[in-house]
Structure 1
Amino acid sequence: MEAVERIQTVDLVRGMALLGILMMNIPLFGYLESGMAAVVKDPGSRDYFAFAAVGTAFEGTMRALFSMLFGAGMVLFATNKPESIDGPSVAEYYYRRLVLLVLFGMLDAYILHWRGDILFMYGLMGMLLYPFRKLKANWLLGVAFACLLIGLYKNEGWQSNMREARAGYLQAVKLEKSGKKPSEKQLEQKANWERIEGRTKPDPKADAKALKEMRGNYASVFRHILPENAGSEVWYVYHGAWDMLVMMFLGMALLQLGFFSNKLSSNTYKTIVLIGYGIGLPISWFYVQHTAQMYLNPGLAVDTYRISPNALYDLRRGLLALGHASLLMLVYRSQLVPWLMRALTAVGQMAFTNYLTHSIVCALFFNGYGLGYYGKLAYYQLYYVVFTVWVFQLIISPIWLRYFRFGPFEWLWRSLTYWTPQPMRRAVKQEMAVA
């Protein structure tokens, strides 16, 4: 019974995280980033409300939970499977599974045209977890903390470079106004800062080009996103790996401590909710205000903060993620909405399929070879699309799992991992009789 409970709650939290991720991803699916300055310019608008509400309560937190559960899931895979005497080892299955995930990530990015794919990076980062699978929870927490410190160091280095570019820009402008020639380094810093500022300002020609290409045919969309996908994957391997590893190692530790298996007391979960929201939400509001200021006036934002609010990014999203998961555990225990809990569990059980479905549905809705809505919706209207997808997946996932053991992409991933087709259909009558 305990194993079933654990699996249910892991899938439950994964289902919430999977649906929540779409809230974060939807602007990248269908909105020009250059329009964000207009979104945050009017605090009384519906666009700003959507930006502030989603950013404060959820930005980064659902991906944090997804990363935690990925780490926990890879431990379960590596430790629950017995070694075979004459077949492939557990390690071989483990790494085969992750190589396939990398390939699925490339399919998601380049074939399904999703510019924010995480499967590629999860496959790579997951390869680092195997040697730590038997480590005790306190050591895993220590490793997570070390990754956090490395991420903070790299983030502060990035912030320092931005401050230097800003200072060089101001000095160069001052010298030019006085008729003097700036040094080559100052000119380089000036150009660097102008590129930073340029990313926050509308560029009518670039916007028109992006709209034309994203509303074009399949080849047009592919050409448009190819440089971004290739560049982001390289960037994340070097810069973005640490925030994933922090949460993956944390998830491995929390699995041992019983957090995701619903083994903690209700008072413990309530305490985590209070701490997570009590500390996380104020930090998150501060972070969102800084983000808005970076869109409106990046120079003022850099001049105002000696230490970037981004330094608190992993702390705030970790606290809020644990707060969200703890609240969900308490709702699950209360049995207030059992139908929703069952639906979320089914969504989590089919998380791989549902994640790729986001890419397929949004590509067909926003891109030109589909309905062509890219750049046509107001920012707040993007969340109507999110809600529609949520309803669809909450309804379809339980129905699908009534007749099949896995989601279609889970079945494909599993079959390729074991190099043999896995049983897909449920023996409904037999299972009903056993029940």
Structure 2
Amino acid sequence: METTSSSFLPSDAATILPADLPGSAYGADRDPPRPVAKSDRIQAIDLIRGLALLGILMMNIKNFGFVWSGFMTIVKNPASTDFYTLAVVDTAFAGTMRALFSMLFGAGMILFLTNKPETESGPTVADYYYRRLLWLVLFGVFNAYILLWPGDILYFYGLCGMLLYPFRRLKPGWLVVMALVCIGANYLRNDLWYSNMRENRAGYLEAVKLEKAHKKPTAKQLAAKTAWEKFQKNFKPDPKREAKLIKERRSDYGTVFTSLIPNNSGSESWGVYFGSWDMLSMMFLGMALLGWGFFSNKLPTSTYATTLLIGYGLGFPLSWFFFQSSFVDWLQDAGKVIDTYRVDPFQLYDVRRALLALGHASLLLLIYRSGVVPWLMKSLTAVGQMAFTNYLMQSIICTLFFHGYGLGYYGKLAYHELYYVVAGIWVFQLIVSPIWLNFFRFGPFEWLWRSLTYWKPQPMRIRKNTEPETVAGS
């Protein structure tokens, strides 16, 4: 997935100071930047990344293999297994795993730059940094257009990461301010959209009322009525369109590729505008949390316990309300939601997911510290260390399972049955990742990414007791 980070932080460091960053105390005699040693990795970061990597599949799986109109049926049957599955997954995890990914991506940017020596000749640390992100953008294009996963985030992470570099020396407090600015920008954009929807809805109701009274609505009211009716029409399922979609997804590679071109090209253009504030806010927050020692597992146990209680205590009630109002009620009657709430309930999205994401991370770190289920912690850490490979592997497995050039299961499984596929992939990656890392320094895609970043093939195989390991650095 995003960066598989490592650190040169001393064992007692709780913050990253500007003096720790490139350009402060490095001369021309230093070795050029390279991936760091396995012993210097922050295991807690790999552990949390492993959780996020597995958890994000719970949200992605619906886009891999479920037809959108199916949600309309689910919300109308609240006693069904599908509804219970949807309620649990969306309340506890929607947006939270991607929030953790974004936070760790921001933290990974700091770790990549920390203690990288500058040299008088050759590429600078900034060159390596931007080269790395440009390759990530291309990997995102590969994931979307070759692996045919329209929900790719590598493309967006690569672009957003390019904006982080000027803020690398900011103190954690200012990074939180930047996160709040991005959240505020996202709120403003969404509020403008919701206000426009409220105006169209009000104009529609006024126009209908006048027409029933055999009076002529104003031009403004008629325009609002037309806009609202268009929204309702586009919002409702189109059986013909969905039948065409199912047929295309169950077809050969060329047909699936052609059908996804408009989707992918559209999402990678408007998605930069609509999604960047979302991702940047969590990246800035992740940079701040690393600076405070949260992700490096350096805070007192009481701090993680308090964060868990606050994150879950506030996050779960907000998330349940969010699920009911912004999903269940919205799908059943969007007009009623707009009539009821002057402020879009979706505005709770960033707050609830940040709270739950920190709650999830705190719970995992508390389990890690307790020494319970060490085998699971080891496997999760390996999954996180190979997160980039495992993320692309999920695309490969799921597109082959659901698309017609593979097994063709698109639209065939009930919603809750999708999570049997998720469980199978989890087990596979939890088993294979630690086994792979017993023999190799990197996952295959990590190796390729690092080799391209440093423009030099990285040693891949581990040679026991003959050479130092330089596994999975930044």
Normalising TM by the smaller chain, what interval?
A: over 0.9
Number of residue equivalences? 433
Counterpart of 1:55? 90
Q: Distance in 2 between matches of 1:187 and 1:387?
A: 51
Mapping 1:275-294, distance limit 5 Å: 275-290=310-325, 291-294=327-330
Contact 1:343 1:394 survives alignment (8 Å)? yes
Counterpart of 1:267? 302
Cα distance, 1:5–1:41 mapped onto 2, change above 3 Å: farther
Q: Distance in 2 between matches of 1:181 and 1:414?
A: 67
Say which of 278, 282, 289 aligns to 1:247. 282
Which segment drifts farther, 311-320 or 170-179?
A: 170-179
**Does 2:109 correspond to 1:74?**
yes
Say which of 205, 210, 222 aligns to 1:170. 205
Q: Distance in 2 between matches of 1:275 and 1:137?
A: 20
Q: Which amino acid aligns with 2:164?
A: L
Counterpart of 1:125? 160
Which segment drifts farther, 173-182 or 21-30?
A: 173-182
Deviations 1:398-431 (A, max 9, x none): 0011111111111111111111111111113537
Q: Which amino acid aligns with 1:10?
A: I
Counterpart of 1:381? 417
- TM-fit CA distance, 1:83: 1.0
- TM-fit CA distance, 1:84: 2.0
Deviations 1:256-294 (A, max 9, x none): 100001000010000000000000000000000011111
Deviations 1:57-77 (A, max 9, x none): 000000000000000001111
Q: Distance in 1 between matches of 2:301 and 2:40?
A: 15
Say which of 379, 383, 396 aligns to 1:360. 396
- TM-fit CA distance, 1:367: 0.5
TM-score, length of structure 1 as denominator length:
0.96
Q: Distance in 2 between matches of 1:170 and 1:409?
A: 55
Contact 1:6 1:262 survives alignment (8 Å)? no
Cα distance, 1:173–1:266 mapped onto 2, change above 3 Å: same
- TM-fit CA distance, 1:199: 4.2
Counterpart of 1:309? 345
Point out the structure with the larger helix share: 1
Q: Which amino acid aligns with 1:67?
A: S
Contact 1:150 1:242 survives alignment (8 Å)? yes
Q: Which amino acid aligns with 1:39?
A: I
Q: Distance in 1 between matches of 2:248 and 2:445?
A: 29
RMSD over equivalenced CA pairs, Å: 1.7
Counterpart of 1:395? 431
Q: Distance in 2 between matches of 1:184 and 1:428?
A: 79
In structure 2, the residue corresponding to 1:278 is in which secondary structure? Answer: helix
Q: Which amino acid aligns with 1:426?
A: I
- TM-fit CA distance, 1:227: 1.2
Cα distance, 1:76–1:379 mapped onto 2, change above 3 Å: same
Structure 2 unpaired stretches of 5+? 1-9, 14-38, 470-474
TM-score, length of structure 2 as denominator length:
0.88
In structure 2, the residue corresponding to 1:387 is in which secondary structure? Answer: helix
Cα distance, 1:279–1:328 mapped onto 2, change above 3 Å: same
Counterpart of 1:370? 406
Structure 1 unpaired stretches of 5+? none
Contact 1:200 1:296 survives alignment (8 Å)? no
Q: Distance in 2 between matches of 1:375 and 1:346?
A: 32
Q: Distance in 1 between matches of 2:45 and 2:211?
A: 60
Q: Distance in 2 between matches of 1:6 and 1:420?
A: 21
Q: Distance in 1 between matches of 2:382 and 2:262?
A: 36
Q: Distance in 2 between matches of 1:122 and 1:418?
A: 20
Counterpart of 1:411? 447
Contact 1:40 1:51 survives alignment (8 Å)? no
Identity %: 64
Counterpart of 1:143? 178
